[in-house]
């Protein structure tokens, strides 16, 4: 397998990933802290985060359908990036629950539109070389790390409100990078692989999507309450940001090594290992919050529970959905896994956090990750994921 050099288009994709995931690095760790600072309780925070995730159920399907029927796909990416910034400005206008909820859902609908389109494009340019996807995607991880580290210090100094202007700035960067991506690079011959429902009705596709859905559901307590959880244990925001950053640094290591890893190991064992290690990770976080060394080890497992899992999932989607179905395949994966799974995860975590407490909530997350392991083990055929 020959490693191909990056061209200008790859570099522009790297920039887009950097700002997109830098925005995510402000939203996931710190939006909950901001909502807590304006008086939102765990149930309300979980509901708002669920709405952010649920916007990804609808957005990728709508925008993916448009992309599959138009050649000028970057028009939709640029439009979505602009409308994301406009919609997010509503966060500055009011602090009532229903207003915040509406703003989060609307800006999430636009923000969640661009990434599936770019993921499909990136895979179409790098699919023959699994390592190339990792080298592009790692810039998203670098953006996430930069964001959580800087914002952790900024919030310690200026307060949780500062997350809003920081997110606006990062969303502006995403929009500028979207303007730089040339439309011509996204065009090319599109084959016709048959009706989309034929791919969706395959047992291995259903099993894969179900396992990914459960994996995202298990992440609900982590993405929604991890920062609040550690803040309650007395950790300063800068340390919390460093733990988030360390996790993503480990993720970068996986992206850099995916070419060698996937050359030696099939996709199914990589997914199974990521599900099993998610069980361990949630148990460690739930039962040992006061032990920093254990938390650091648990964050190192992010290399498997997100890095290896995501890279393998992208390769599998690229194989399950071909030709004209590439964008909608990415959209369906995003809707079923990150969208629906993330929404269900955030919602149940908000209820369980109040009713059962953090330890029991993370224990339930571990059980859900274990269920994902069983689904992949029993229903995902080895011969389809080699």
pLDDT tens digit string along 346-357?
A: 999 999 999 999
Maximum CA pair distance of the chain? 56
pLDDT tens digit string along 5-30?
A: 556 777 788 888 999 999 999 998 99
Q: Which residues contact 36 (CB under 8 A, 6 or more apart)?
A: 45, 160, 228
Q: What percent of the chain has pLDDT over 90?
A: 48
Contact status, residue 36 vs residue 227, Cβ threshold 8 Å: no
The residue among 1 and 214 whose pLDDT is bigger is: 214
Q: Which two tokens stand for residue 180?
A: 């730089």
**d(C-alpha 167, C-alpha 25), whole Å:** 9
Residue entry with tokens 């710190």: 30
Please report, to the nearest 10 degrees, the dihedral formed by the alpha carbons of residues 202, 208, 214, 217 taken in order. Answer: -110
Q: Tell me what pLDDT residue 242 has.
A: 93
Q: What percent of the chain has pLDDT over 70?
A: 83
**d(C-alpha 380, C-alpha 206), whole Å:** 9
Q: Would the pLDDT of 381 be above 80?
A: no
Q: Which residues contact 328 (CB under 8 A, 6 or more apart)?
A: 61, 64, 65, 68, 196, 321
Q: Tell me what pLDDT residue 131 has.
A: 58
- Which CATH superfamily includes the segment(s) 8-384? MFS general substrate transporter like domains (1.20.1250.20)
Q: Which two tokens stand for residue 343?
A: 């929404």
Would you give the distance in Å from CA 232 to the centre of its chain? 25
- pLDDT mean across residues, the chain: 84
pLDDT tens digit string along 284-325?
A: 999 999 999 999 999 999 999 988 898 888 888 877 776 555
Question: ∠ CA 274-317-18 to the nearest 5 degrees?
Answer: 75
pLDDT confidence of 254, banded at 50, 70, 90?
confident
Contact status, residue 151 vs residue 30, Cβ threshold 8 Å: yes
pLDDT tens digit string along 217-252?
A: 999 999 999 999 999 999 998 899 999 999 988 988
């Amino acid at each position: 397998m020959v490693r191909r050099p990056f061209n200008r288009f790859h570099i522009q994709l790297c920039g887009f990933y950097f700002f997109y995931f830098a925005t995510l690095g402000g939203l996931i760790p710190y939006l909950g802290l901001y909502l807590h600072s304006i008086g939102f309780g765990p149930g309300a925070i979980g509901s708002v985060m669920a709405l952010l995730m649920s916007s990804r159920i609808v957005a990728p399907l709508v925008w993916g359908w448009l992309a599959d029927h138009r050649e000028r796909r970057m028009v939709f990416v640029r439009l979505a990036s602009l409308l994301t910034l406009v919609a997010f400005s509503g966060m500055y206008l009011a602090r009532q629950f229903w207003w915040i909820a509406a703003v989060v859902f609307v800006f999430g609908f636009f923000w969640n539109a661009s990434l599936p389109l770019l993921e499909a494009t990136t895979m179409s340019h790098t699919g023959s070389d699994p390592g190339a996807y990792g080298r592009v995607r790692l810039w998203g991880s670098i953006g996430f790390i930069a964001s959580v580290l800087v914002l952790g210090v900024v919030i310690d100094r200026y307060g949780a409100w500062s997350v809003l202007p920081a997110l606006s700035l990062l969303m502006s960067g995403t929009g500028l990078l979207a303007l730089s991506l040339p439309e011509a690079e996204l065009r090319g011959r599109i084959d016709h692989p048959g009706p989309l429902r034929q791919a969706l009705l395959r047992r291995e596709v259903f099993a894969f999507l179900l396992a990914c859905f459960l994996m995202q559901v298990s992440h609900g307590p982590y993405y929604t309450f991890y920062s609040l959880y550690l803040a309650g244990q007395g950790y300063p925001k800068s340390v919390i940001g460093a733990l988030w950053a360390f996790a993503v640094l480990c993720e970068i290591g996986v992206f850099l090594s995916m070419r060698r890893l996937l050359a030696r190991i099939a996709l199914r064992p990589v997914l199974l290992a990521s599900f099993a290690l998610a069980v361990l990770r949630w148990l460690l976080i739930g039962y040992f919050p006061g032990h920093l060394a254990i938390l650091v080890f648990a964050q190192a497992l992010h290399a498997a529970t997100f890095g290896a899992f995501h890279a393998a999932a992208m390769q599998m989607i690229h194989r399950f959905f071909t030709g004209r179905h590439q964008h909608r395949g990415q959209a369906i994966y995003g809707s079923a896994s990150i969208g629906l799974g993330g929404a269900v995860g955030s919602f149940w975590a908000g209820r369980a956090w109040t009713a059962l407490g953090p330890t029991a909530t993370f224990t339930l997350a571990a059980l859900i990750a274990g269920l994902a392991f069983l689904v992949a083990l029993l229903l995902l055929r080895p011969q389809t994921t080699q």
